């Protein structure tokens, strides 16, 4: 049914690149920010677990590099008549467990090493959540703020025309990511369908519900965080109704995590958000617990809370880092990376027993070690925020079968998947007396190794 390769194959475009990631021909490390190379970091994380799992050299070499990379240019006729050429990428780290899955980022500072790292992390995230998908990521070096709708549409269609032979429901399924949204996904799906001559809604996820998107996707990541939190508390013998929490952020992940946690009986004393006019973050504190609805009423579409209005309705407006300084049981960093560092970790009170990472990379390695010494349980990002990709997988399943589920059905299946993933990881971490994060990596990497072995690849 989906034999699209036959329609598309053109040996002169999209030549897969299996050259090592530091090969100068493709920019290698030079494209990464000075002093920080996310791909190197992802490889080091992998190497550490590979040692634990005693993986052989060939297996390590195979898994520490992407299987395929596509580098290409996209010419766009700009509104003023001149042609501008953009650079695009798609990286497929590993597809042993199923088609690659991962977002497409629009970013002026995009680097190939960032895309490589993110595609590798997607492989582990899909594996730890036990969904039959591999890891991929893509991007275009651009700033959509400087582009008209027409120029963005051309970029989306141009990106698809370059990767169409190598993506699709049975090869690689893109999704929205940094600075891309449902409209971009629909332009991309439409272009894919135009060049392939059929209807293939399972090509892409993150579509609007009216055109093949899944109900429950908006809630999925935040709810997934709280399914993990709920099960962790059970294992720690703590009643959720008696707990208090503090959250960094008030965007999509944070507010749905807050909604479900409050529904379960928990109390949130502080949330935080970015203030665009002051160019800094603020925390919003209420001793007896925030009221989600009243805060949402004074929050803009970017997740920024109006500080003047918040003061009026009884919130203390405090500095951005204040959210992590309270006597609470649980912290949920759900805004951005590097929120908890060796400098800020000392402000975390001894009352904190559990940290559930809604954001990607919110705890840096030094802070992680300190928290571990203090006996704080940390549920790592690629497990805790996997609800988003699990729901994207559900969207793909629904799109492929052309039959759509109710929201209750989606969220029920999501809860089952997340709970199951939590217990597999928790059991290993308890049995081996290792960090939850290490147990999660061990399970994810073992599953990918097993799939590669069963296929006879390694």
Tracing tokens 């971009």 back to the chain, one arrives at 184
Tokens encoding 305: 């809370």
238: left (phi over 0), alpha (psi -120 to 50) or beta: beta
Catalytic annotation present for 242? no
Give the C-alpha distances (Å, rounded to integers) separating 358 from 65, 267, 383, 385, 423. 26, 18, 9, 5, 18
Which residues make beta-bridge pairs with 224? none
360 in contact with ligand NAD (CB under 6 A):
yes
Among residues 180 and 273, whose Cβ is nearest to ligand NAD?
273
392 in contact with ligand NAD (CB under 6 A):
no
Cα gap 222→386, rounded to integer Å: 10
Among residues 159 and 382, whose Cβ is nearest to ligand NAD?
382
Among 72, 124, 200, 250, binds ligand NAD (CB under 6 A): 250
> Candidates 68-76, 136-144, 227-235, 328-336 — which segment interacts with ligand NAD by CB under 6 A?
328-336
246 in contact with ligand NAD (CB under 6 A):
no
Give the C-alpha distances (Å, rounded to integers) separating 205 from 173, 181, 258, 416. 7, 10, 25, 21
Q: How many residues bind ligand NAD (CB under 6 A)?
A: 23
221 in contact with ligand NAD (CB under 6 A):
yes
Catalytic residue, candidates 137, 207, 286, 417:
137
Cα gap 436→113, rounded to integer Å: 27
Please give the residue whose beta carbon sits closest to ligand NAD in the complex.
Answer: 251
Among residues 78 and 336, whose Cβ is nearest to ligand NAD?
336
Hey, what's the torsion of the CAs at 16, 21, 23, 24, to 10 degrees? Answer: 100
173 in contact with ligand NAD (CB under 6 A):
no
Among residues 136 and 358, whose Cβ is nearest to ligand NAD?
358
273 in contact with ligand NAD (CB under 6 A):
yes
**Residues with Cβ within 8 Å of residue 253, at least 6 apart in sequence:** 221, 222, 225, 334, 358, 359, 385
- Looking only at the bridges linking them, the beta strands covering 134-141 and 83-94 are antiparallel
Residue 397 and residue 373 in contact, taking contact as beta carbons nearer than 8 Å:
no
318 in contact with ligand NAD (CB under 6 A):
no
Among 226, 340, 359, 445, binds ligand NAD (CB under 6 A): 359
385 in contact with ligand NAD (CB under 6 A):
yes
Among 28, 251, 266, 380, binds ligand NAD (CB under 6 A): 251
Give the C-alpha distances (Å, rounded to integers) separating 49 from 117, 186, 361, 440, 444. 16, 39, 18, 10, 10
Tokens encoding 12: 């002169």
User: At closest approach, how far in Å is the CB of 362 from ligand NAD?
Assistant: 7
> Candidates 7-15, 94-102, 250-258, 407-415 — which segment interacts with ligand NAD by CB under 6 A?
250-258
Among 243, 304, 429, 437, binds ligand NAD (CB under 6 A): 304
Sites of contact with ligand NAD (CB under 6 A): 221, 248-254, 272-274, 281, 303-304, 320, 334-336, 358-360, 385, 388
List residues with catalytic annotation: 137
């Amino acid at each position: 049914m989906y034999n699209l390769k036959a329609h598309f194959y053109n040996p002169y475009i999209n030549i897969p690149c299996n050259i090592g990631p530091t090969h100068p021909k493709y920019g290698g490390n030079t494209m990464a920010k000075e002093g920080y190379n996310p791909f190197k970091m992802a490889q080091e994380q992998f190497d550490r677990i590979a040692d634990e799992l005693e993986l052989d050299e060939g297996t390590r070499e195979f898994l520490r590099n992407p299987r395929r990379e596509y580098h290409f240019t996209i010419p766009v006729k700009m509104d003023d008549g001149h042609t501008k050429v953009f650079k695009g990428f798609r990286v497929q780290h590993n597809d042993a467990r199923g088609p690659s899955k991962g977002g497409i980022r629009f970013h002026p500072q995009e680097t190939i090493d960032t895309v490589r790292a993110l595609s590798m992390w997607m492989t582990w995230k899909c594996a730890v959540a036990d969904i039959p998908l591999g890891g991929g990521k893509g991007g275009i070096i651009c700033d959509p703020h400087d582009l008209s709708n027409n120029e963005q549409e051309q970029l989306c269609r141009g990106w698809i025309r370059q990767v169409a032979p190598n993506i699709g429901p049975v090869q690689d399924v893109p999704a929205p990511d940094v600075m891309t949204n449902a409209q971009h996904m629909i332009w991309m799906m439409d272009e894919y369908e135009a060049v392939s001559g059929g209807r293939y809604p399972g090509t892409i996820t993150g579509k609007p519900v009216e055109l093949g998107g899944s109900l429950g996707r908006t809630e999925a990541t935040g709810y997934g965080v709280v399914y993990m939190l709920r099960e962790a508390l059970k294992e720690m013998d703590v009643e959720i109704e008696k707990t208090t929490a503090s959250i960094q952020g008030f965007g999509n992940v944070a507010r749905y995590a807050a909604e479900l946690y409050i529904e379960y009986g928990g109390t949130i004393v502080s949330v935080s958000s970015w203030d665009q006019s002051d160019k800094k973050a603020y925390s919003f504190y209420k001793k007896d617990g925030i009221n989600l609805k009243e805060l949402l009423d004074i929050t803009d579409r970017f997740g920024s809370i109006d500080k003047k209005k918040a003061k009026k309705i009884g919130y203390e407006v405090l500095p951005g880092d204040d959210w992590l300084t309270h006597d609470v049981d649980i912290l949920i960093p759900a805004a951005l990376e590097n929120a908890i560092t060796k400098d800020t970790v000392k402000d975390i009170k001894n009352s904190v027993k559990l940290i559930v990472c809604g954001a990607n990379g919110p705890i840096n390695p030094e802070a992680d070690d300190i928290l571990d010494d203090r006996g704080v349980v940390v549920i790592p990002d690629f497990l805790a925020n996997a609800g988003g990709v699990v729901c994207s997988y559900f969207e793909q399943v629904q799109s492929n079968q052309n039959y759509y589920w109710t929201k209750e059905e989606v969220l029920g299946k999501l809860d089952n998947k997340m709970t199951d993933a939590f217990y597999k990881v928790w059991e290993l971490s308890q049995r081996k007396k290792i960090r939850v994060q290490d147990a999660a990596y061990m399970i994810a990497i073992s599953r990918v190794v097993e799939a590669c072995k069963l296929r006879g690849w390694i």
